[in-house]
Structures are given as structure tokens and as C-alpha cells.
């Protein structure tokens, strides 16, 4: 699905030097590379504070801890997402409240959020799924009306930009109270291990998140709150600094591949290409088709026989997962999510796809879906 080897080959010397420098410096944790990366990411995102941590799941957890959410508080998120979003809500004893998504853009349905708000609701977690922003202007308005926090899950959308109706442009993750991202290798800005970060423009929240990520410690060996141990290591930060400089080029390469796919599958009766949401750029973390009257499993097997990988993001809706079964929800409650889980397929999407590969992939899909 991704070609990290070819991407690495193009910057091998730069990466190797940076990694070796960290090893020789012995500043493995919280070294200068972490501080530099943090500052460079703040500048790239136009956000006041970036707090690096160990992974995207931790970022979401630390964000919710910093907001002081308490057991019993309800947190609204999308039913069509990666499990991490709901996992941390449940882990903290908060109540995940799921809502459906829009059938075209896969993003969280704002009318459904509004209907799900109760006196216990404390926060909304929009997921910028597959690389484009959720409808943030309406979500932020709703949050303001009901006095709710907004935590953006931007693990799949680093670099995407949202334009508000007054013309203001903001980067994904910098619009709500806190944005959370992941630097997992296959993410758009991926390191060579695990990594993540929180973003915020709020000084107080930034301080709290830094403290929670560091064992709830304000001064060394002084613990003001119960925290966790979650840090980005210096080797990963050194790699991320190099890749951050290329992030916009990477997004352009992904968009080029997406445009090729779009054109190849345009107006196909059995294949629906991914819709672009209004007011947002798309960084194509995934390129996801919806199939109609196609045996998806057989298509995947056919593609595999030609060495073409494909994935189903996501095969089972959250409310149908054993771990998240909940008497409030049953099959049929989130019809769009359920339909998507049964009909989507994601094709290879990365920064190194060339026309020859794209032709090979699209020809194979079209041959099967004749």
C-alpha cells in the first residue's frame, strides 16, 4: 500500500547522517532534534504549541486527560473511523457516543452530531478521515453553542487546509481546542517507528499536556497530576525534520496519483471515486473507492494475484466490534457506515507511484469490474 523503501532511497544520505548524528550525540530522549522538530512543525502548522508524544493514540488520550474529562462524560465521534479514536474515550471511562458519516466524503455527519448532544456531552472528536477535513466551520459553531470541546483527530490529514467562509485558512488540527496526530510510518508524515503529537493554541492546555505526557511532572520528581510516559525519541524527530520539509511535495504526489485514479474510474457504473469535501484540500492518506455490484473479496484476490495490494478501511463498524458492543447500539443504527464497511476498497496510495504503476493498477481494477 505504501512504498517507504523508494521514498527512503531518495534521501538516504540525509536520513543516515541525521540518525548517526543522534546516535553519536547520545541525546536519545528529548534531545535538540525533538525541540527543533517541534519548533519547525509549529511554524509549518501556524500553531503556538506542538507537544510531541509516543504515538497518535497517546495524543488523543493525553488531550482528553488535559481537558479534565471525567467518567460519565459523553464524547461524540464518528462510527466510521480507526478504533483508536473510540478506544481512548472508553479507556478513560468516558462514554463514546457514535454518529454516522456522510456517504460521499466519509466525514462525520454534523446533523447527526447535533442530534447526539445531551446535557452530558463534553466534547466532539471529528476525524479528518482519509486526508480531508471534516466540516469544521459547522462543528466549531455547534461546539460553541453547546459549550463543548473539540479534539481533532488529524492522524490521517496532516497538512490539509480548511477554508472558513470568511476566507481564513487553517491547517487540520489547529482549528479546535486540541489537534492530535500520528507519525506512524505509513501516515502522511511518518517516522521509522512510532510517534505522535498534540497541537494547541492554548497556553494552559499546552502546559497540561506537556506535564501529563511526562508522568504528570511539573518540576523533576514533583508530580502534580497522574500522567503517562509518552515521548517522541530523538532519532524519530531527526527523521521527521527531514520529511517535514518534503511534506507539501508528498501531498502533491499523492494528489497526482489520486487524479490519475479519478480519471481512470470516472463515470464507471460499478465504481464510485472519492468525493472532495467543500472548503478543504485533500492530502489523500487513502484513496478509497465505493464498489457497487462487485464481489469485493474476489476483486481483492484478483488484484493480489497480480501483486497489487488493496485494503479495506474499515471492514467492521465500531458499534459492531465485540469490544465496543453497547446496548445503545445495534445493527442498522449507522446505515451509511455499515454500507461503507461493506463496499469500500482502498488502493495503493503513496508518494512514489508512477504512471506505469498507476496504469497497471487501474487496468487490473477495470478488467475485473467490466
Ligand X SMILES: *Cc1c(COP(=O)(O)O)cnc(C)c1O
Q: Scan for cell 488493496, then name that residue.
A: 310
Per the omega criterion (within 30 degrees of 0), is the bond before 314 cis?
yes
CA distance 327 to 155: 29
Residue choice 155, 197, 257, 318 for contact with ligand X (CB under 6 A): 155
Cβ-based nearer residue to ligand X, 91 or 298? 91
Binding to ligand X in span 109-148, by CB under 6 A: 127
CA distance 132 to 156: 8
Shortest distance in whole angstroms from residue 82 CB to ligand X: 4
Residue choice 73, 107, 153, 161 for contact with ligand X (CB under 6 A): 153
Cβ-based nearer residue to ligand X, 73 or 153? 153
Span from 20-28, 52-60, 252-260, 269-277 in contact with ligand X (CB under 6 A): 52-60
**Strand, coil or helix: 34:** helix
Cβ-based nearer residue to ligand X, 92 or 264? 92
Contact, 289 vs 345, CB < 8 A? yes
Tell me the residue number closest to ligand X, measured at CB. Answer: 56
Cβ-based nearer residue to ligand X, 107 or 194? 194
Residue choice 7, 38, 85, 95 for contact with ligand X (CB under 6 A): 85
The answer to whether residue 196 forms part of the interface with ligand X (CB under 6 A) is yes
Residue choice 61, 105, 132, 156 for contact with ligand X (CB under 6 A): 156
Residues in Cβ contact with 49 at an 8 Å cutoff, skipping those fewer than 6 apart: 42, 199, 200, 201, 202, 203, 205, 206
Q: How many residues bind ligand X (CB under 6 A)?
A: 15
The answer to whether residue 184 forms part of the interface with ligand X (CB under 6 A) is yes
C-alpha cell at 185: 510510518
Shortest distance in whole angstroms from residue 242 CB to ligand X: 19
Shortest distance in whole angstroms from residue 196 CB to ligand X: 5
DSSP-assigned letters across all residues of 256-269: HHHHHHHHHHTT-T
Residue 158's nearest CA partner among 187, 201, 116, 124 is 187
Which segments of 42-177 are extended strands (E)? 49-53, 74-78, 95-99, 121-125, 149-153, 161-163, 169-171
DSSP-assigned letters across all residues of 83-94: HHHHHHHHHTT-
CA distance 72 to 266: 47
Cβ-based nearer residue to ligand X, 196 or 227? 196
The answer to whether residue 57 forms part of the interface with ligand X (CB under 6 A) is yes
Contact, 142 vs 110, CB < 8 A? yes
Shortest distance in whole angstroms from residue 60 CB to ligand X: 6
Cβ-based nearer residue to ligand X, 7 or 236? 236
The answer to whether residue 84 forms part of the interface with ligand X (CB under 6 A) is yes
Shortest distance in whole angstroms from residue 91 CB to ligand X: 13
Cβ-based nearer residue to ligand X, 79 or 156? 156
Name the site residues for ligand X (rule: CB under 6 A).
55-57, 81-82, 84-85, 127, 153, 155-156, 182, 184, 194, 196
Amino acid at each position: 500500500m505504501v512504498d517507504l523503501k523508494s521514498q527512503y532511497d531518495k534521501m538516504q544520505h540525509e536520513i543516515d547522517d541525521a540518525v548517526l548524528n543522534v546516535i553519536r550525540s547520545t541525546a536519545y530522549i528529548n534531545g535538540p532534534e525533538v525541540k527543533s522538530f517541534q519548533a519547525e512543525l509549529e511554524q509549518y502548522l501556524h500553531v503556538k504549541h506542538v507537544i510531541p508524544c509516543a504515538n497518535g493514540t497517546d495524543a488523543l488520550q493525553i488531550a482528553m486527560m488535559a481537558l479534565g474529562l471525567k467518567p460519565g462524560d459523553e464524547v461524540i465521534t464518528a462510527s466510521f473511523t480507526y478504533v483508536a479514536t473510540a478506544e481512548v474515550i472508553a479507556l478513560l471511562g468516558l462514554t463514546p457516543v457514535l454518529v454516522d458519516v456522510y456517504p460521499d466524503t466519509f466525514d462525520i455527519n454534523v446533523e447527526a452530531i447535533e442530534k447526539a448532544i445531551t446535557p452530558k456531552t463534553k466534547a466532539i472528536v471529528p476525524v479528518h478521515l482519509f486526508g480531508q477535513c471534516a466540516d469544521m466551520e459547522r462543528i466549531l459553531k455547534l461546539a460553541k453553542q453547546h459549550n463543548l470541546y473539540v479534539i481533532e483527530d488529524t492522524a490521517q490529514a496532516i497538512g490539509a487546509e480548511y477554508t472558513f467562509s470568511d476566507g481564513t485558512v487553517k491547517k487540520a488540527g489547529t482549528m479546535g481546542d486540541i489537534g492530535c496526530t500520528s507519525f506512524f510510518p505509513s501516515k502522511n508524515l511518518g517516522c521509522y517507528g512510532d510517534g505522535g503529537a498534540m497541537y494547541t493554541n492554548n497556553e494552559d492546555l499546552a502546559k497540561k499536556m506537556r506535564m501529563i505526557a511526562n508522568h504528570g511532572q511539573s518540576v523533576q520528581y514533583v508530580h502534580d497530576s497522574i500522567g503517562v510516559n509518552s515521548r517522541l525519541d530523538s532519532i524519530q524527530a531527526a527523521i521527521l525534520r527531514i520529511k517535514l520539509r518534503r511534506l507539501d511535495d508528498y501531498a502533491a504526489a499523492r494528489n497526482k496519483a489520486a487524479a490519475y485514479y479519478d480519471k481512470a474510474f470516472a463515470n464507471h457504473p460499478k465504481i464510485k471515486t472519492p468525493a472532495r469535501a467543500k472548503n478543504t484540500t485533500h492530502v489523500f492518506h487513502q484513496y478509497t473507492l465505493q464498489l457497487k455490484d462487485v464481489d469485493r473479496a474476489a476483486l481483492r484476490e484478483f488484484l493480489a494475484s497480480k501483486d497489487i495490494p488493496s485494503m479495506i478501511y474499515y471492514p467492521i463498524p465500531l458499534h459492531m466490534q465485540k469490544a465496543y458492543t453497547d446496548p445503545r447500539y445495534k445493527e442498522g443504527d449507522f446505515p451509511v457506515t455499515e454500507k461503507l464497511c461493506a463496499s469500500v476498497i482502498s488502493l495503493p496510495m503513496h508518494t512514489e507511484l508512477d504512471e506505469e504503476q498507476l496504469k497497471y493498477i487501474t487496468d487490473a481494477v477495470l478488467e475485473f469490474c467490466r
